[in-house]
Structure 1
């Protein structure tokens, strides 16, 4: 019977990074989740949604010769740039094939960070407990002396090590994934994930929805040259927050720094937003994670915390700075 990659095991969000007894922790990388399988000279590289990625990442297929036949990993595709994870370098790879994909692989090579073992030389390991899968994965990396594009994700049962990893947000570490030591690999939310978040201030430059009850806020910061740069958008505002912030917003005058601009409805989509420009006067505090694009914009929608009428736009860190 032909073996196929299983559906990926998922994680449920938790509000704190406490390492419980009987659990292990692993760094959560800012990349693309992927599953890879090698059998009879054929490499399968599949995204979490089931998209075939192998033609877009020839460096992974080229490195598959290092793996024993009939072996499969779960992991994360990542790219490093200037000592930091560069998610934007992964963007656009899906549309690249042949010579274009090879050029990108040479310029910005991807690594596959393996964090779980799904199959080992023809043996389905998904029913093994995590501690056994993890030990076998470590042994495989050691015995085969695997090198790039393969990398072994760290794992620990030491709380102090978890605390140290949480200081790595500057290089793009998103948080921690927790896995129960005796758990099988199943397509359920049996893992737990904690994402590093922090609060920052930004200036409201536009809104979606009516000014009397904005649905989301488009936020900006001034750069060193005095230009208001777009830095990200909030998630949907609670109705009470929308009403409260509406009383502090004023329609833009004829001149606005973002006049004529278009704003994407989401990362990686060509859909655009219908927005209303407002005077860039109101400062708000939002919760953000560590994911950034190459310009320093927040890649994920940010969470509303509160208005900061006690601050002026001039009090806010310049665009590209984190505080």
Structure 2
């Protein structure tokens, strides 16, 4: 006799911090064919929102808990139903456009300055995924179902918690890509409509206007509070490289984000040779946006643009 089928139960309270967020692979053109959803990629900071029965927790892409930096978003997220977990981008709007410099100030805020900055530079949250609802893990569900539940949850609440726009029409996506760049939209994030949420993998695609790339920070030179350069691993290459000297703004941002080093390592710096650097723990990862250039001597120079 064939035993009766038993439906698998949803995993209660399975989505807890820290979670590994889904990532995107850079492409140079939109994919062909049907079955794709297109979202504008806002120029902000990745943020996962956890609403539990006890309150709200905010997690950065790296896995760091950054709840104290965004008291305005914490207050807004308290209206979410318990057991909800959202993935999205925190942005600050200025004159109708996204102001990334303002977002950087908010993300680097100390607990003492966070409230004042929240009043001066109020944050918005552009949610693009729903990882859990009512404590049930939705990550295995297809994108279309997660999106439907996300919109249903956020529509009654309104700003500053809002779902990102989405289209399945390729022509509309191209119009967004070509016309929204001046308002702080970096490009598009492209997702399969039938795909689950795959944390820690580059299952999504991203089409950017710039030629920048994301790199993992594995160490630094100089003092931790104001490093001279970062040691990075680039996509597809695990060999550490030393960046060019950091700008004043990136040094300041790094001083508030770099964890305590756990040892030392050696990496090659362009024009200098091998240098000793202070190595960071493998987890949580810190991500920076970099631009890789080639000098007239065909030597690659990695310039750090900003922390992501």
TM band (smaller chain): 0.5 to 0.7
Out of 135, 153, 174, the residue aligned to residue 186 of structure 2 is: 174
Q: Please say if residues 30 and 173 of structure 1, whose CA atoms lie closer than 8 Å, have aligned partners that are also in contact.
A: yes
Q: Residue 102 of structure 2 corresponds to which residue in structure 1?
A: 89
User: Could you tell me how far apart the structure 2 residues matched to 1:172 and 1:47 are?
Assistant: 20
Out of 124, 129, 135, the residue aligned to residue 142 of structure 2 is: 129
User: Could you tell me how far apart the structure 1 residues matched to 2:270 and 2:203 are?
Assistant: 40
Quick one: structure 1 residues 61 and 12, their matched pair in 2 at CA, closer, same or farther if it must change by over 3 Å? Answer: same
Larger Rg: 1
Summarize the alignment of residues 70-89 of structure 1 with structure 2, pairs less than 5 Å apart.
Answer: 70-89=83-102
Q: Residue 108 of structure 1 corresponds to which residue in structure 2?
A: 121
User: Aligned Cα RMSD in Å?
Assistant: 2.8
Out of 146, 171, 188, the residue aligned to residue 157 of structure 2 is: 146
Gap runs ≥5 in structure 2: 1-11, 212-233, 235-244, 255-268, 272-287, 297-308
Q: Please say if residues 49 and 57 of structure 2, whose CA atoms lie closer than 8 Å, have aligned partners that are also in contact.
A: yes
Out of 57, 75, 87, the residue aligned to residue 44 of structure 1 is: 57
Q: Residue 170 of structure 2 corresponds to which residue in structure 1?
A: 159
Quick one: structure 1 residues 133 and 182, their matched pair in 2 at CA, closer, same or farther if it must change by over 3 Å? Answer: same
* Equivalences, count: 219
Summarize the alignment of residues 1-323 of structure 1 with structure 2, pairs less than 5 Å apart.
Answer: 2-3=13-14, 4-5=16-17, 6-18=19-31, 20-142=33-155, 145-166=156-177, 167-187=179-199, 188-197=201-210, 264-265=246-247, 268-269=250-251, 301-302=290-291
Gap runs ≥5 in structure 1: 199-235, 237-262, 277-298, 308-323
Q: Please say if residues 19 and 157 of structure 1, whose CA atoms lie closer than 8 Å, have aligned partners that are also in contact.
A: no
Q: Which SS does the other structure have where 2:76 is aligned?
A: helix
Quick one: structure 1 residues 117 and 266, their matched pair in 2 at CA, closer, same or farther if it must change by over 3 Å? Answer: farther
Quick one: structure 1 residues 184 and 275, their matched pair in 2 at CA, closer, same or farther if it must change by over 3 Å? Answer: closer
User: Could you tell me how far apart the structure 2 residues matched to 1:58 and 1:102 are?
Assistant: 6
**What's the CA shift for 1:129?**
0.5
Per residue, is there more strand in 1 or in 2?
2
Q: Please say if residues 91 and 268 of structure 1, whose CA atoms lie closer than 8 Å, have aligned partners that are also in contact.
A: no
Q: Which SS does the other structure have where 1:92 is aligned?
A: helix
